[in-house]
Structure formats: C-alpha cells, structure tokens
Structure 1
C-alpha cells in the first residue's frame, strides 16, 4: 500500500497512480517500513554528521516533508544540510524535480527521487517517499524514516544549530510528548488519510469518528494552553501544525473530513494561526503546491484532476489572541532569521505573498 508522500517504485509502462491509494472494501493502512539508517555523531550506521555532506529532499506539498523543512529552519541547519524541493505532483514511480532548471536537482543531478533510492537498494520495491536524506557523494538515500529525521536534527546535529536555536525536545516533557505524539499521529496526522483513503463506508465511518474524537480532545486541550506541551513550541507542535494547515484546503473536502472546518474550532484555529505567524512555520507553507498535490495525484478519489480555487487563505494572517495564554514560543532561544531567498515560497502561494 502506498502512502501520501509516496510514489511506488515500479517500471511498468502505465505510471498512473490509480489504485495506489484506495483498496475497495478495506480500511486504509499506512506502510510504515522505511530505510531506518541514521546519521549520527558517532557514525555508527556508516553515516556520520558532517556539514555539507547530505541533502534533504522534501516536497512542500507533503505534510511529513513539511515537518523537516520547519525543524531545519527553526534549528538553523540551512548551512549544514542543503534542501532539494521536488514539485508537488508525481506519477506512480517517483517524485520529480520539475521545478528545477532542466528538471534535475541542481546538487544531485537526478530527475527522479527514485534514482537515489535505486542507488541505495537496486530495484527498491517500497514507496519512494519524502522526506528523504541523500548522501551527496554517493547519490544514495540514507534514510526516509521521517519521524526519526527531525528527532535527529534536534539531537545529533546540535553542533550545527544556530545560536538561539529552540529546544524542541525538552527533557522534562519527553515522556508526555511521546504519548501526545502517538495520539496525534494515529488519530490526526494519519487519521485524515484513513478517512480519505477508506475503501468502504464502514471503514470511513470508523475513521471519521476517531478523527473527530481526537480533534475535540485537541480543541479542549488548546483552549487552556498556548502550546501542546509546556509553555514553548516543541516537536509535538510541528507535527500537528502540518496537518492543521492542510485541513481546510484539502482534508475537509478532498478527504471528506467535513464535520466542520478548522476555522470553526476557536482554540485549534487560533493555535494554528499562532504557529503560522511564527517564523519558521507559515513561511514554509505553499498552499498552491499542497492543493496541486492532493487533487492531481490522488486519481482514486479525484479522477478529474480538477484543483479547487479556494479557500481564501488570507485569514491565516488574522489576529489570534493566543498571547493571552502566556507561553514563550522559543523558550530561552530566539526566532530564526528571514527565509533565504532561494528557499522562499513562490509569490502568491502563501497567505501573505
């Protein structure tokens, strides 16, 4: 079963994604088997932390990849780990670098991310997923284990953090964070996909109920505190944000998560806007790429490929009033500086550009 952020590694002549996402009569189950090699300070897996050696390939359209872009920016790892940005759409084979000159990643020199997976594992048969970290000297994927990538950015790459980088994994909250992250992943991050890719009415109904139970839990929790855990932004907030920012543009309609819109949940909507307006979050979000990906690639549930014009996203910059709940966004750290020109969201694709 392929997943969002995935293209299946096949070499057949028909590269349509039809049949890749929805299996009739069954619930959606995400394939969570990834290349689990880690980049560490001691290099125990053969890949030591080394500035300039690795390239993060992360499509702006994908929520799992968006996490890594946010954490990389918050921690100031731009000089240490370069960023490759595939386009928002792909066929059943692979994400492609169609936004780059000549359709090739300027550092890796490849047209398809599939090429880097094949260099690591010839004929790789699992999904070609983003985010993926590629070893530039060999051109081979090191890992596509997206939950571990951001954790390692915080822990293994500390030597290269910017001055004032926030602590996204505060030791005093790690136990609680593990529990919160687990519920957010199973019920919300992946919950919207269980709704959208359900293969039966029964599977959809069950997924829908689980999602909204979790959304109501979050609404209640965030009505009393500014951030998910403690009084600063943590990894947990990053993980929830990338689902929330896609909710009204995609999940509400495309995935049938339509009990209500995010804008109709006062605490969650305020929380999402608070994060969006925090440097490192909204400045990584490309709404046009997000919509293009979901509505074009998911042929199973949108066979016409028509991309909706709405919703209007200017409201992401409206006042949220969350400061009244206190909290210190970056703790003892500071906000990241301006986005590098080469990494800015295209004009007209964000909420305020």
Structure 2
C-alpha cells in the first residue's frame, strides 16, 4: 500500500534529528509486581500465556528486535505474533499481508485501532513493536527497549529449557554501556544521517556513526559476539541495524563511507548471526526496502525501490567460529 499524498509523513527535520522516546511506559511483569529496573510511572500487567499479542513488522528494526528475542527464548506459543505490512501512511501500520487486510486474531485493519481502544486521543505516532491485550484489543505498551527486556526477565518461567540468557548478570554493567553507545551512535545514528535537515547536521551525524562502526569493527576483531563467546541482547540490537545497512542506510540514508560488506569483522559477525534461524528468518529484504523507500517519500519522492544488493551474499561462509 502506497500512502496517498494527503496522508504522507514528513521525516526530514530542520537541523538535527531528535527521536521521540516518549512511549507508553506500562510493563508486563511476573505477578504484576514493580520491577527493580525501568519505568516506574506506568501500569503493571501480569505475565499470562495467551493473553497478549506482539505486533511487530519485519520491516522495522525496532520491532525486529522483539521478533528475534521472542524466537530465541522460545515464546512462540506463549505470546502470539501479528505482523503488519511494510508500508504505511501517517495514520498507522496496517495488516496488508493478512487475508482481508485484518489481523486474524485482533480483527483490526490498523494498529491505530488498538491504540485508540486504550487512548482515544493518543497524540503520538503509531509505532511497532506493540503489545496488545487480545481480549480487549487494547494497547498495553509500545516501549520497545523494555518489551524485549521483560521478555527475558519477566517471562522466564515460560522460556524453552535451552533458551539463552540474553542478560548475563556478570556482563550486565558493561553490556548496558555497549548497548547505550550502539543505540545513540548506530541504531539511531543512521536515522540522524537520513533525517538531517541541513549539511552541518548530516556531516556531524555521519562522523559519529562511522566512529562508532570503527569501534565495533575493532571490538569484533577480538571476540565472536559483542560480549564474548555468547549471544546477548546487545547482539540483537546491533544486528537489526547491520541487516539493513547495505540495503537501505548506505544509499537511502547517505551512510556511504563504506558498505557493511567492506568491514570484514562486522560483515562476518552479521553473517554469523544471520545463519541462526531466529535471526536470519526474521529478515525480509523486500519488506525492508519497501518500507524505507516508499514510506519516506520526502527522501525518495519517486517511490522507486532498488533491486539490489545481492541477498545471496548473506549466505556465504563466515569464519567467526575461529573465536
């Protein structure tokens, strides 16, 4: 679905891009208890298998995180998954890929309906991922960093027996520092380049992004994963940006000092993770490209979606197991 002219959104901002991080701060926690970490002002909802539906578009890197974590932890039969299509207008993500254009569980055409069921005058953008209560059709939370955090900590009783510990206690302090830099400089850094409204803001964003990528390239030259020899949430958060780098960010967002495939440690690391089904199976390059090149009409007014790059390169061997 291509947005009509009167429903197109404007993404480029005058000066530098500043992401709105005001999300619904509710949490789903064990026995609806107040957790030690995270937002304290929102409502608490109890962990309950089958009660919630995760709405997460494959096209969106922030939602992609939640799909990966859900799979790694084996929560597929505990939290159901609804996936909107890759394109949307300024009103809402829509369920274009489902029969009749409706989510088969919630019965809605637009994710906006779940937001308005909870907040009739919701003033911000309709974002994914979102946790929705199935019975009432109400949005629970769209606070994406805490959705994946709580899937790891609060839903632990429902993890599969061999699920990885994505937040090892002995690594948490360093890991949070690494994830903070990844978020500010890489995950958000590519958007800071792409949505810059003037040359000075773009140049500064570009330099910050590649300084961070050079740091990651060096770090991954000494270890298999970001925190050593095991996958953590830090890897999930970096992977979703790397998977989109050459297909979208390099050209569409002008992050073009070099491609991911030209950074050997990062490229090998990305292919290593991609070879794991819970990572690679969540990546749909056609949806990713359609989302960025169609939705961001102020950056790409023709709506033309590029044919490349060659997806088969993601299936080439890596040597990361040498670590």
Assess same fold via TM > 0.5.
Answer: yes
Aligned to 1:56: 54
CA contact (8 A) 1:58 1:84 kept: yes
- Aligned to 1:14, the other structure's residue is in SS state helix
- The equivalences for 1:33-182 within 5 A come to 33-44=22-33, 45-182=43-180
Give per-residue Cα distances to partners, 1:306-350, cap 9 Å, x unaligned. Answer: 00000011010111101001xxxxxxxxxxxxxxxxxxxxxxxxx
Is the contact between residue 274 and residue 320 of structure 1 (CA under 8 Å) also seen in structure 2?
yes
Q: Structure 2 CA distance, aligned partners of 1:23 and 1:237? A: 30
Q: Structure 1 regions of 5+ residues with no counterpart?
A: 1-6, 326-353
Runs of 4+ in 1 over 2 A off after TM superposition: none
Pick aligned residue for 2:7 from 3, 15, 18: 15
Following the alignment from structure 1 to structure 2, what is the Cα–Cα distance between the partners of residues 180 and 133? Answer: 26
Quote the offset at 1:302 in angstroms.
0.3
Query: 1:195-234 maps to which residues of 2 (within 5 A)?
Result: 195-234=193-232
Residues 255-274 of structure 1 mapped to structure 2, 5 A cutoff: 255-274=253-272
How far off its partner does 1:14 sit?
2.4
Paired with 1:218 and 1:123, the residues of 2 have a C-alpha distance of 42
**Structure 1 SS opposite 2:12:** coil
Q: Which has the higher helix share?
A: 2
Give, in whole Å, the separation in 2 of the partners of 1:268 and 1:43: 40
CA contact (8 A) 1:296 1:306 kept: yes
Residue matched to 1:332: none
For residues 67 and 112 of structure 1, what CA distance do their matches in structure 2 show? 21
Q: Alpha-carbon deviations, 1:79-131, whole Å to 9, x = none? A: 00000000000001000001111100000010000000001111211110000
Superposed CA deviations along residues 51-104 of structure 1, whole A, max 9, x for unmatched, are 000000000000000000000000000000000000000001000001111100
Partner SS, residue 123 of structure 1: coil
User: Which position in structure 1 is the counterpart of 2:241?
Assistant: 243
CA distance in 2, matches of 1:205, 1:193: 13
Q: In 1, Cα distance between the equivalents of 2:44 and 2:12?
A: 37
Determine the structure 2 residue equivalent to 1:31.
Answer: 20
| TM value normalised by structure 1 | 0.87
Retained in 2: the 8 A contact 1:173–1:230?
no
1:230: how far off? Answer: 2.6
Q: How far apart in 2 are the matches of 1:98 and 1:315?
A: 29
Equivalent residue, structure 1, for 2:300: 302
Q: How many residues align?
A: 312
Q: Which ranges of structure 2 fall in alignment gaps of 5 or more residues?
A: 34-42
C-alpha displacement of 1:284: 0.9
**1:13, CA displacement in angstroms?**
9.5
In the TM superposition, what is the alpha-carbon distance from 1:23 to its structure 2 partner? 2.0
TM-aligned CA deviation for residue 279 of structure 1? 2.5
Aligned Cα RMSD in Å? Answer: 1.3
